[in-house]
Amino acid sequence: MVDAATIEKMEAGFAKLQASDSKSLLKKYLTKEVFDALKNKKTSFGSTLLDCIQSGLENFDSGVGIYAPDAEAYTVFADLFDPIIEDYHNGFKKDDKHPPKNWGDVETLGNLDAAGEFIVSTRVRCGRSMEGYPFNPCLTEAQYKEMEDKVSATLSGLEGELKGTFYPLTGMSKEVQQKLIDDHFLFKEGDRFLQAANACRFWPTGRGIYHNENKTFLVWCNEEDHLRLISMQMGGDLKQVYKRLVTAVNDIEKRIPFSHNDRLGFLTFCPTNLGTTVRASVHIKLPKLAADKAKLEEVASKYHLQVRGTRGEHTEAEGGVYDISNKRRMGLTEYDAVKEMYDGIAELIKIEKSL
Ligand SMILES: Nc1ncnc2c1ncn2[C@@H]1O[C@H](COP(=O)(O)OP(=O)(O)OP(=O)(O)O)[C@@H](O)[C@H]1O
Ligand SMILES: NC(=[NH2+])NCCC[C@H](N)C(=O)O
């Protein structure tokens, strides 16, 4: 049973959300019926419905508003997660199965902007959770330290282009940290969506960043997910960026076992990242198309793309630079997720040229 104080908090938050003008998927799918069916449930980690929804209850401007405090939450609270997953990932239904991992033929991708007219930079990232550990809200301080040690030791074995250094957030100067954030290499600090989800406990313990010398291959440790593996570089050469990521993931997964589920694919803290966990993005200037932001959003969504601001999610575009990426990550292969971005961006550039 869930204790009375937690139920009371949930009831109050639910009533406020219902009365709000929130556009979140949480508001859309947390009906009274679903709420009543789930409010007394708990995972074996002791996570309740409140742990899943508190970020969306505190942040009405959430697009989604829900996180899984531990992997079991996806099944215990499936009545809420399933319709949100279906909505976000283009119709991935509750009896659908995510396909097996398939990076495809890397050589079939190319440079999206060889003349360097539109694309500032290209990035592909994926997320991974380490087997044997729950997600952020359930991790102890000792686990954070243990995970950081495992990650930094493992990454110190990487060679060639991927060879680099692990920098713990603990002890990093504010200037270095801010410069890494401004240059788009490091996660921001104090994300209110993650904070409300109870995902920033013991910060900065266990958090850190690994990167190679050129900062074209990076790993985030214990921010939103246990691991985020990132490949990025200036310009539009998606083939090179993707190839580097695939090489890195293939190498690292031999050294660290990752949590995978038959139906959901790779497991992540946020349901938007399940499945392939792949977000392939470009920083791009499309001045004519973007003159009308609503039009840009409309055209992008036609190609299943998502538009973000220059500093990432929940930020605005600066100097006309947008972050445009594949939106869905589930129900298709890694290759197809990246190809969706590749084809969509090629179309957007074609449209921009025609205006
Ligand atoms: N194509 C790109 N080129 C350069 N920087 C990028 C590109 N795409 C994203 N970034 C930068 O990556 C950082 C993280 O962005 P953001 O948090 O939106 O995405 P994410 O790391 O994919 O994770 P999440 O989707 O969980 O937020 C930001 O600094 C953002 O500007
Ligand atoms: N980084 C993410 N998981 N992004 C997706 C959702 C972020 C936030 N919870 C929202 O609903 O807007």
Measure the CA–CA gap between 13 and 17, rounded to whole angstroms: 6
What value does the CA radius of gyration of the chain take, rounded to a whole number of Å? 20
Is 125 close to ligand 1, i.e. is its CB under 6 Å away?
Answer: yes
> pLDDT per residue over 147-178, tens digit each?
999 999 999 999 999 999 999 999 999 999 99
Average pLDDT score over residue span 209-238: 98
- At residue 1, the pLDDT reads 86
Measure the CA–CA gap between 120 and 321, rounded to whole angstroms: 8
Contacts of 96 (CB under 8 A, 6+ apart): 263, 331
Last residue of a domain, one of 88, 121, 156: 88
Is 122 close to ligand 1, i.e. is its CB under 6 Å away?
Answer: yes
Which two structure tokens, joined as six digits, stand for 175? Answer: 């200037």
Judge if 181 and 314 occupy the same domain.
yes
Instruction: Give how many domains the chain has, as a whole number.
Output: 2
Torsion of CA 41, 45, 49, 54, to 10 degrees: 160
* Residue 264 domain-assigned (yes or no): yes
Q: Is 125 annotated as belonging to a binding site?
A: yes
Distance in Å, CA 38 to ligand 1 centroid: 34
Output the residue whose Cα is nearest ligand 2's atom 2: 270
Last residue of a domain, one of 53, 88, 123: 88
Is 268 close to ligand 1, i.e. is its CB under 6 Å away?
Answer: no
From the CA of 311, the nearest ligand is: 1
Is 191 close to ligand 1, i.e. is its CB under 6 Å away?
Answer: no
Judge if 69 and 216 occupy the same domain.
no
Contacts of 219 (CB under 8 A, 6+ apart): 151, 155, 166, 209, 210, 211, 227, 228, 229, 230
Q: What ipTM was predicted for this assembly?
A: 0.99
Q: Is 281 annotated as belonging to a binding site?
A: yes
Average pLDDT score over residue span 228-245: 98
Output the residue whose Cα is nearest ligand 2's atom 3: 270
Judge if 195 and 246 occupy the same domain.
yes
Query: Phi and psi for 146 in degrees, rounded to 5?
Result: -60, -45
Q: Rounded to whole angstroms, what are the CA distances from 112 to 120, 159, 332?
A: 11, 28, 22
Q: In CATH, what number is assigned to the domain containing residue 49?
A: 1.10.135.10
Q: Which domain holds residue 286?
A: 106-354
Instruction: Tell me the best of 189, 219, 279 to mutate to test the pocket of ligand 1, counting ligand atoms within 8 Å of each CB and taking the most.
Output: 279
Q: In CATH, what number is assigned to the domain containing residue 221?
A: 3.30.590.10
> pLDDT per residue over 244-278, tens digit each?
999 999 999 999 999 999 999 999 999 999 999 99
